[in-house]
């Protein structure tokens, strides 16, 4: 092992020695100063303008216009006795004429969680549990149920898991059967 190390170090010395004893007529290595940040930035902008100088700059219209969405904009406000709650738009299946005053456009009073608001206003709210197929619009609500809700006199709200959920508008329209005489 010792012989190997000395042979390696001897080889390094042999390769370094000619560089030290170089000919006097060889040109000396010139070390320049480090460039400053401003010099580097100028060099980069010069390179970019040379590279992209012929490219034309044009303003592009956005392909999609993004609408600002807000929780209040996507909700229907229900108010009663100085309190209000949010339900998703499309969750009210039936609204009797005498309860139209419960719908408000701006909050009035204090915001309540849905379970508390429902407990305090259970006299005029009826919950209709829906499954995912009805909420997505794959199945419709039975016509008999819709007629029963219209005679009930309460606001009917679609729920899933006890909380209001939006339903597709197709759900509220009874299916038409073709070829059937009335």
- Average pLDDT for residues 113-123, to the nearest whole number? 95
Model confidence at 117: pLDDT above 70: yes
Asked, for residue 54, whether it belongs to a domain, the answer is no
Beta carbons within 10 angstroms of residue 142's beta carbon? 10
Average pLDDT over residues 47-58: 74
Could you tell me if residue 29 is inside a domain?
no
Query: Is position 85 within any domain?
Result: yes
**Mean pLDDT rounded to a whole number for the chain:** 82
For range 42-47, the mean pLDDT = 90
Residue numbers of the domain that contains 135: 75-172
- Indicate whether 153 belongs to any domain: yes
Given a contact cutoff of 8 angstroms between Cβ atoms, the answer to whether 92 and 76 are in contact is yes
The pLDDT value recorded for residue 159 is 95
User: Residues 62, 68, 73, CA angle at the centre, nearest 5°?
Assistant: 150
Task: Encode pLDDT of 164-181 as tens digits.
Answer: 999 988 877 655 555 444
Domain membership flag for residue 28: no
- Domain contains 60: no
pLDDT at 5: 52
What is the number of domains present in the chain? 1
Note whether residue 164 is domain-resident.
yes
Stated pTM of the model: 0.59
Question: Cα torsion at 127, 161, 141, 101 (round to 10°)?
Answer: 30
Q: According to the model, what pLDDT value does residue 140 have? A: 87
In whole angstroms, give the CA distance from residue 92 to residue 141: 13
């Amino acid at each position: 092992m010792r012989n190997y190390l000395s042979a390696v170090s001897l080889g390094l010395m042999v390769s370094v020695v000619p560089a030290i004893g170089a000919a006097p007529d060889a040109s000396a290595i010139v070390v320049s100063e480090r460039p400053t940040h401003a010099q580097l930035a100028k060099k980069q902008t010069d390179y970019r303008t040379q590279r992209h100088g012929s490219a034309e700059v044009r303003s592009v219209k956005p392909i999609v216009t993004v609408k600002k969405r807000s929780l209040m904009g996507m909700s229907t406000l229900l108010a009663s006795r100085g309190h209000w709650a949010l339900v998703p738009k499309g969750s009210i299946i039936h609204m009797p004429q005498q309860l139209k005053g419960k719908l408000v456009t701006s909050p009035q009073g204090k915001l309540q969680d849905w379970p508390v608001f429902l407990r305090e206003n259970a006299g005029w709210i009826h919950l209709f549990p829906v499954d995912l197929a009805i909420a997505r619009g794959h199945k419709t609500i039975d016509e008999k149920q819709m007629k029963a809700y219209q005679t009930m006199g309460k606001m009917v709200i679609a729920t899933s898991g006890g909380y209001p959920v939006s339903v597709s508008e197709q759900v509220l329209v009874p299916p038409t059967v073709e070829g059937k005489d009335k």
